[in-house]
Chains A and B, each alone.
Chain A
Amino acid sequence: FGGKTWYIKVSFTCLKGKYLEELNIQTVTLIPGDGIGPEISTAVMKIFEAAKAPIQWEERNVTAIKGPGGRWMIPPEAKESMNKNKIGLKGPLKTPIAAGHPSMNLLLRKTFDLYANVRPCVSIEGYKTPYTDVDLVTIRENTEGEYSGIEHLIVDGVVQSIKLITEEASRRIAKYAFEYARNNQRTSVTAVHKANIMRMSDGLFLRKCREVAENYKDVKFTEMYLDTVCLNMVQDPSHFDILVMPNLYGDILSDLCAGLIGGLGVTPSGNIGANGVAIFESVHGTAPDIAGKDLANPTALLLSAVMMLRHMGLHGHAKKIETACFDTIRDEKVLTKDLGGNAKCSEFTADICRRVQDMD
């Protein structure tokens, strides 16, 4: 698997010293996206260049095309590039209403079997919110659960939606959560559920989490009801570390946590798939009203790119870029409009590039 090869490659080079890591240039598929996508992607590329990160970008477009047999699919060049590089960075994609094809995000998810959505939420110093001590990660099962899309009209006026929970998917997501905890030195994993009401489905999810927890005794495992998590989250978010949960709860909780740190404009996100594929993305919208005007805030995409660097094992570069970004925001001199300032996107980017270069 491509994924495992990197870990071996990087750890080997770490033994030989940092300079070898620099020579090991990796290719990453870049999907700029729509709206403000292209400008924030350019900003990220500039910052990476300034930081001398060993990344080479391969730009691809993922607008859906109709394949043979009439099924919508992503263009074969994009698919091939992703399967080769295994790592992708994606900007916001627009979901056209009457185009006939399903949401692009859904298509990507199905094509690469992106089963885990990971969102680390850390309070950003300098971007004030009422919550200052947030440091948690939400890991959400992304393929089944309430979003399976299976709905029926039973009789006129009665609709049933099916929530699907399978052993395989639950085990997979639980395993990923514990692996993430181990790889990132996190102390505890909390499974979020509603097994008092949805006895069988969430009960199955919980059982699988418990089973996987047996193999990871170094990480503390707790279980908590969804409502208790929500209640405690808005009162004291510092109690939580890693949260693992099925699809719907994950959707709600990950957006809740994003709200705690300042919204979707500053939240990174990563989607992990089978076969070592990982796509990191910004989760905000395409903002068509400010597209092309150099007003966009590249922070979300930048932090997702930092997450990507960490996933690839390039912790040094990741720390450098992240620190530069947080320093710029903390300084409050050059901020884009949504962060409370009135600088342009290019000025914001230039400030971060300058800080990164000063660090060398």
Chain B
Amino acid sequence: IQFLYNIFIFSDTFFPYCPPPAKYGGRHTVALIPGDGIGPELLNHVRELFRFSCVPVDFEVVHVNSSSTSEDDINNAIMAIRRNGVALKGNIETNHTMPPNHKSRNNLLRTSLDLYANVMHCQSLPGVQTRHKNIDIIIIRENTEGEYSSLEHESVSGVVESLKIITRNNSLRIADYAFRLAREKGRRRVTAVHKANIMKLGDGLFLQCCKEVASGYPDIEFDSMIVDNTTMQLVSKPQQFDVMLMPNLYGNVVSNVCAGLVGGPGLVPGANYGRDYAVFETATRNTGKSIANRNIANPTAMLLASCLMLDHLKIHDYANMIRGAILTTMNETRLHTADIGGQGTTSEVVQSIMRIIQSGGPLTTEI
């Protein structure tokens, strides 16, 4: 129960909060972008579970065709998210054999909606066997600039330059977000991850902004660590980290390392927050092409992401009910899917969750 309580506390957002715009008749509308690979099947399970548990959320499904060169699809999706304020999405594949002006759709979505904070909470789950125990790290990653600026050019044939942009405004913004989140969740230390010894101006600016913001939060300890040392520490002693704050690319590396440490990509949900919009997805954003449509994918990450979404919509009862059911199911080793060492199927896991919800008492439809 303490464990569930901690998760409940985390999932609450703390922004000066206005109710999401798409609420009518007590029901919310959320944009749903199935994406590719395992996205569609997992999101179908989410819809099935919501329908079964009578969650007052309706989904507006928007398909994005990853193989089309026109940007109409992704623009429609962005429009839908603007309309609804909240989205749940699968990963859209980026075919990198296409010409370079064909940008990553996921990245386009994040930058257009200015979803500047990617938040991922890595916690060791009691039912899952891992090499390291007692991990509890919140990773906050700048989501819009840095190395992912997509500004590249070939000045001379055979020489390509890619620009990494760091701005003062965005660095201050993400640092402020991190410290406010740390304070809200009662966390004691924020660690900034950087490579300022080599990239003196770029990461130097980021670090300086973090220090400035840190001075305004004297109750929270602030330290910094170079990214290569960070990865080394993460694989030997991950328990030393509390909240970690970093620019885009290092965030990618560190969040994947942490996801691997707590049990894999199938277990950790992720959230992308902007000032006006929020998009929820799995933390490591994998397409999972090789396991698509084989009923072996782990639905936990996507289901936990949908719980984060319910918390964002302030429907906490349903969020906690579903989350509790998921964690109880996680304790059953025989229901573990292949990625965490078991032989269960996706549908078995979802059925078990539904059974637990039904036995919990509230109104449900028939299984």
Residues of A within 8 A of B (CB): 129-131, 146-147, 149, 151-153, 156-168, 194-201, 203-204, 206, 226-228, 230-235, 248, 251-256, 258-260, 263-264
* Contact of A198 with B152 in the complex, beta carbons under 8 Å: yes
Q: Does B51 contact A (CB under 8 A)?
A: no
Partner of B229, one of A164, A231, A255: A255
For the complex with contacts A194-B252, A256-B257, 9 further pairs of A-B residues with Cβ separation under 8 Å are A156-B168, A159-B202, A164-B159, A165-B162, A197-B150, A199-B152, A227-B252, A234-B257, A259-B235
Interface residues of B in 286-340 (CB under 8 A from A): 286
Give 1 or 0 for each of B80-117: 1 = CB within 8 Å of chain A CB: 00000000000000101000101110010000000000
Asked, given contacts A130-B132, A234-B235, A256-B235, whether A161 binds B159 with beta carbons under 8 Å apart, the answer is: no
Instruction: Return the 7 tightest CB-CB contacts between A and B, nearest first.
Output: A157-B168, A259-B232, A234-B260, A167-B158, A255-B228, A130-B131, A199-B100
The answer to whether the Cβ of B213 comes within 8 Å of any Cβ in the partner chain is: no
- Asked if B168 contacts A158 (CB within 8 A), the reply is yes
In the complex formed, the residue of B with least CB distance to A166 is B159
Count class of interface residues, chain B: 35 or more
Q: List 15 A-B contacts (CB under 8 A).
A: A149-B198, A151-B201, A157-B205, A196-B94, A200-B100, A200-B152, A200-B154, A226-B253, A227-B284, A233-B260, A251-B228, A255-B232, A259-B232, A259-B236, A260-B235
Complex: A152 Cα to B166 Cα, angstroms: 11
**Any A CB within 8 A of the CB of B274:** no
B265 close to A231 (CB less than 8 A): yes
A contact residues around B257 at 8 Å (CB): 230-231, 233-234, 256
A158 contacts which chain B residues (CB < 8 A)?
A: 165-168
Residue B163 lies at the interface, judged by CB distance under 8 Å to chain A = yes
Compute how far the CA of A267 lies from the CA of B234 in the bound complex, rounded to whole angstroms: 17
Interface status of B160 (Cβ within 8 A of chain A): yes
Chain B at the A interface: mostly helix, strand, loop or mixed?
Answer: mixed
Contacts of A233 in B (CB 8 A): 257, 260
Taken together as a complex, chains A and B put the C-alpha atoms of A146 and B107 apart, in Å, by 21
Asked whether, in the complex, the Cβ of A159 is within 8 Å of the Cβ of B165, the reply is: yes
Cα–Cα, bound, A248→B203 (Å): 13
Question: How far is A157 from B147 in the complex, measured between Cα atoms in Å?
Answer: 17
Contact B264 A235 (CB under 8 A): yes
Q: Is the CB of A231 within 8 A of B256?
A: yes
Cα of A152 to Cα of B199 in the assembled complex, Å: 11
* Residues of A close to B147: CB separation below 8 A: 146, 163, 194, 197-198
Q: Are B229 and A168 in contact (CB under 8 A)?
A: no
Residue of chain A at shortest CB distance from B169: A157
248-295 of chain B: CB within 8 A of chain A: 249-250, 252-253, 255-257, 259-261, 264-265, 284-286
Q: Which residue of A156, A201, A235, A256 contacts B162 across the interface (Cβ within 8 Å)?
A: A201
A259:B231 contact, CB within 8 angstroms:
yes
* Alpha-carbon distance between A253 and B162 when the two chains are bound, in angstroms: 21
Q: Does B188 count as interface, using CB distance less than 8 angstroms? A: no
Minimum CB–CB distance from B35 to chain A (whole Å) comes to 14
* Chain B contacts for A259, CB-based, 8 A: 231-236
Contact among B102, B162, B200, B264 for A231, CB-based, below 8 A: B264
Q: In the assembled complex, which residues on chain B have CB atoms less than 8 Å from the CB atom of A152?
A: 201
CB distance from A97 to the nearest CB of B (A): 11
Closest to B165 in A: A160
Q: Which residue of B lies closest to A198 (CB)?
A: B162
Which residues of the partner chain A approach B103 to less than 8 Å between Cβ atoms? 199
Given contacts A130-B132, A198-B147, contact A151 B202 (CB under 8 A): yes
Contact B231 A163 (CB under 8 A): no
B86 to chain A, nearest CB (A): 25
**Contact A263 B232, CB 8 Å, known A158-B168, A198-B147, A201-B152:** yes
How many whole Å from B287's CB to the nearest CB in chain A? 10
Within the complex, which residue of B167, B201, B286 is in contact with A161, where a contact is CB–CB below 8 Å?
A: B201
Q: Is B161 an interface residue (CB 8 A)?
A: yes
* Bound-state Cα–Cα, A131 to B235, Å: 9
The verdict on A231 contacting B202 (CB below 8 Å), with A163-B162, A226-B253 known, is no
Does B27 sit within 8 A of A, measured CB to CB?
no
Q: Is the CB of B228 within 8 A of A252?
A: yes
How many Å lie between the Cα of A130 and that of B94 in the bound state? Answer: 35
Residue of B nearest to A234 (CB): B260
In the complex, which residue of chain A has the Cβ closest to the Cβ of B158?
A: A167
Closest CB-CB distance, A178 to chain B, in whole Å?
Answer: 20
> Considering the chains assembled together, what is the distance between the CA atoms of A201 and B286 in angstroms?
22
Q: Is B227 interfacial (CB-CB < 8 Å)? A: yes
Q: In the complex, what distance in Å separates the CA atom of A100 from the CA atom of B195?
A: 21
**Bound form: Cα–Cα A200–B164 in Å:** 14
User: Could you tell me the distance in whole angstroms from the C-beta of A88 to the nearest C-beta in chain B?
Assistant: 23
Q: Which of A164, A254, A255 contacts B160 (CB 8 A)?
A: A164
Q: Decide if B153 is an interface residue (CB 8 Å cutoff).
A: yes
Q: What is the distance, in angstroms, from B259's C-beta to the closest C-beta of chain A?
A: 6
User: Residue on B with the closest CB to A95?
Assistant: B197
Q: Are B233 and A200 in contact (CB under 8 A)?
A: no
Residue of chain B at shortest CB distance from A227: B256
> Is B163 within 8 A of A160, CB to CB?
yes
* Minimum C-beta distance from B344 to chain A (A): 18
Flag whether B148 is at the interface (Cβ < 8 A): yes
For the complex formed, measure the closest distance between the CB of B285 and the CB atoms of chain A, giving whole angstroms: 8
Q: How far is the CA of A194 from the CA of B152 in the complex (A)?
A: 13
Q: Are B201 and A159 in contact (CB under 8 A)?
A: yes
Choice from A166, A196, A251, A252 contacting B158 with Cβ under 8 Å: A166
Complex Cα–Cα for A198 and B165 (A)? 13
Beta-carbon nearest neighbor of B340 in chain A: A235
Nearest chain A CB to B240 CB, angstrom units: 13
* Chain A residues, CB < 8 A from B285: 227
A201, B161: Cβ atoms closer than 8 Å? yes
Nearest A-chain residue to B206, judged by Cβ: A159
Task: Name the distance in Å between A157's Cβ and chain B's nearest Cβ.
Answer: 3
